[in-house]
Structure 1
């Protein structure tokens, strides 16, 4: 129990004990508090008792969190507790929270209402990026991070409801993700044949196994193993550029490893690449790097280099400006789904547990499928292959009735 000693009318000293040291000395912690003038005299006792309870909880358990805590303080502690997210994701959450702290950071958790979050969204919508007003989807992404923090507070019974879930939000305009056609993919492959080997294999794997950029950058030769069914690749790491920390290696985005089988044809390409890297290492009087994607000097390649290089390749063959490295992952998922591979298998291959998210985010109808859909409907309407409207027969019937 905490002991409370009154120093004057509004100053109190709180002392908390927590056992004894080996030498018999009591382990204790003391804190002097000043009761704010806004607290009436009849409420001073309750205020001090609450402060004593919080100090005792903090001293004995290492933390003290309740509804009186400001959103900023709770969110900062929430960030430190997260272990399931990749370092780059945590860094992104931290940057987004730092933007909203000046708006809602000082509000106590139990006083945070939907209206305050609506005002936050109004302020965010005024922000500009590269001189342009940010989109509604971007503003709502900030709210998603705030909601994650508040959901944690609700789960820990600090607040009863998550006010972020109570907003009536406008439907954001979705950006249509274009997928390369088969002709464009063939053109890209022909262009990649002229690129250095590490770029060539990197982009081929992006199309063939649909891995994220960071996962490919972190690939090691030890990730490949031979099984009865062929070559097996295990994805268990990711390398990403975290602001303020540089390149950080951690787990994949969902925190789980996954396995992908490699066809014999691609196996041959990978073996040829390995022999080339062994030869380069021998010329340097060095050993083969454990990582796949290193330059001629055996140095790891920065993840951003692959993104920038592909943009230049796209420009050289007049591809749409909205194409980027992640477009190849979209192509992979969409192609598998259109080929009839079941959704759960595709989700496992790309590291998604939620097939619904997979469909919403990655499944894009290609022009060939749209043409096929049009032909299918025509067949349904006229299975005999005849004209949609038999105008000759209609005219003859009209003349006969006249």
Structure 2
């Protein structure tokens, strides 16, 4: 509620409380009012009441807000909200985003940042931004992540009573042509397999299990021997293995509730796992007390959980050694999905197998693959009804002659 105080010089001060700032102190806004000459005390009182109401509404609409700068408040958001509610890996990724956000808008007051300021930052990031590791242009997904971080900070400011509007709602992230996912071809997979026996057993298991299961890297590294049911040839996904610079390697829950799942495996994979388990037990016995028993499948030399970067570095080096293009460790998961799709497995089953929270995620990620698989339905029907292929041809004229003529006409048209 607004309060009014008379000053000695014949003016009045209107004060409105605007919530609390990042430091926990109450924020107040002030406005001065000077009556017009000749106004009666009753007229002044009436106008003061009107001015107080208007000023209070102006404050509530967010036209006047706290003067805290974005970077300072964002750091408070990290401490008060992100550390408590986000997973350590998500927290670390958010921290990485500040490297671009703070130089752009960190010095600006929250109440002075407009949708246009944020739009300029997002657009510039897509036009001029480069990936720090690869030097390639930044993707739309990267821009969305940055915008989401900024929006989260503004949403928190609104909940704290410091703002009434989130300018991110009006920001548009331009669409980009989606690149097809880089997936190993069957010939490349065959070459990977043919040369695999010369590699350490744990990497043999990792590569083949990743292809057959489609598990995320964090899920692969989170597997423990108690998750392997040798009797029924199934594997349970129950946890993930993560890494941050602050915490090191740690165990976390799965990405989503549906990521906890059970996979049926072929006998060949289960036999490979049996050999791997026997080899690991022999290594543990040889190291004795130096062996750290974490029950993990994929470990360092001493039984400690494997670093998430290790499979990436191994696969990259392995591809270079045998002359196969390196298509990233996550492409093994995409390969698994593509094999399911091209074998005619429906989208709901694929989504469940991949551990996606909703079917829409699967459709968005692999839409072009489903379209290609659907296009083959026409060939399947044609093959099944091959006895009707002479429909539409003139009597006595071979169908292939017409096809050939049609093709020639198409070439001439082009």
TM-score by length of 2: 0.68
Query: Which structure has the highest helix share of the two?
Result: 2
| CA–CA separation in structure 2 for the residues paired with 1:183 and 1:374 | 26
Q: Whole-Å Cα distance in 2 between the matches of residues 54 and 127 of structure 1?
A: 36
When residues 77 and 347 of structure 1 are mapped into structure 2, their CA distance, relative to the original with a 3 A threshold, is farther
Q: Secondary structure at the match of 1:193?
A: helix
Match of 1:163 in 2: 167
- CA deviation after TM superposition for structure 1 residue 144, in Å: 3.2
Output aligned runs, 1:373-392, within 5 Å: 375=379, 383-384=388-389, 386-387=399-400, 389=402
SS in 2 for 1:143: helix
Q: Which residue of 2 aligns with 1:203?
A: 207
| Corresponding position of 2:361 | 357
Which of 185, 188, 192 pairs up with 2:189?
185
Q: Is the 8 A contact 1:210 1:332 kept in 2?
A: yes
Shift of 1:96: 0.5
User: In 1, Cα distance between the equivalents of 2:284 and 2:20?
Assistant: 66
Aligned to 1:314: 319
1:199 positional shift:
0.7
Instruction: Output one character per residue of 1:16-62: Cα deviation in whole Å (capped at 9) or x when no partner.
Output: xxxxxxxxxxxxxxxxxxxxxxxxx85563369978x96479xxxxx
CA RMSD of aligned residues (A): 4.0
Contact 1:233/1:259 (8 A) holds in 2: yes
1:209-247 deviation digits (Å, cap 9, x = unpaired):
1122222222222333478x653413322222x234433
Q: Name stretches of at least 5 consecutive residues in structure 2 with no aligned partner.
A: 28-61, 391-398, 407-414
Report the Cα offset of residue 380 of structure 1: 10
Cα distance change on mapping 1:248 and 1:284 into 2, 3 Å: closer
Deviation at 1:191, TM superposition (A): 2.0
Structure 1 residue 315, shift from structure 2 partner: 2.0
Structure 2 distance, partners of 1:102, 1:279, is 54
Matches within 5 A, 1:277-292: 277-286=280-289, 289-292=294-297
1:334 is displaced (CA, Å) by 2.1
| C-alpha contact (below 8 Å) 1:84/1:254 kept by paired residues | no
Q: 5+ unaligned residues in a row in structure 1: which ranges?
A: 1-5, 10-40, 58-65, 394-402
Pick aligned residue for 1:235 from 214, 233, 238: 238
Aligned to 2:219, which of 204, 215, 220? 215
Whether the 8 Å contact between 1:223 and 1:234 is mirrored in structure 2 is yes
- Correspondence for 2:271: 268
Alignment correspondent of 1:76: 75
Once residues 179 and 18 of structure 2 are traced to their aligned partners in structure 1, the CA distance between those partners, rounded to angstroms, is 54
Of stretches 124-133 and 140-149 in structure 1, the one that deviates more from structure 2 is: 124-133
C-alpha displacement of 1:255:
6.7
Q: What does 1:68-107 align with in structure 2 at a 5 Å threshold? A: 68=66, 69-80=68-79, 81-82=81-82, 85-107=86-108
Report if aligned partners of 1:258, 1:351 keep a CA contact under 8 Å in 2: yes
Q: Please state whether the residue corresponding to 2:219 is helix, strand or coil.
A: helix
- TM-score by structure 1 length? 0.70
**d(CA) in 1 for partners of 2:188 and 2:371?**
12
Aligned counterparts of 2:13 and 2:348: Cα–Cα separation in 1: 58
